[in-house]
Structure 1
Amino acid sequence: MVKRDKNFHLENIQKIIETRNRIAHGYDKISDDLIWSIVINHLPKLKEEIKSKLEE
């Protein structure tokens, strides 16, 4: 089990973890549309957030 660093905060960390678990374990047969929506709508923002944190 991976422990989270309490000092490192991402805006939607719980949703990211839940989505990862759904994909990894095949819960409810994840739709292609949902995955594509995440890629288009959420990954660019997450990328910028992480980039910003790495520059701190």
Structure 2
Amino acid sequence: MSERNLSLLLTDIKVSIEKILEYTAGMTFESYEADSKTKDAVERNFEIIGEAASRITDDFKKLHPSVEWRIIKGLPEFYYSRIFWHQ
């Protein structure tokens, strides 16, 4: 993987996190649950984070062992399971 591709993947993760924080700022869980547009936007950004994390090379991940890559990669599934079981 080129440095450019790695940089783009890391940027995708960073931007998606920022968007999730922006979209949900000041919301309670109840207001979030009632806002389907925000839920859709947050879900999409979790998908982007998970996909980007899954494409980062193992070599890079080994250089950054303090990052919970497995958890980050699994965020979309975790999010869906929490929302499904909370209903």
TM-score strictly above 0.5: no
Larger helix fraction of residues: 2
Range class of TM-score, shorter chain: 0.3 to 0.5
TM-score (norm 2): 0.33
- Which structure's CA Rg is the greater one? 2
TM-score w.r.t. the length of structure 1 is 0.41
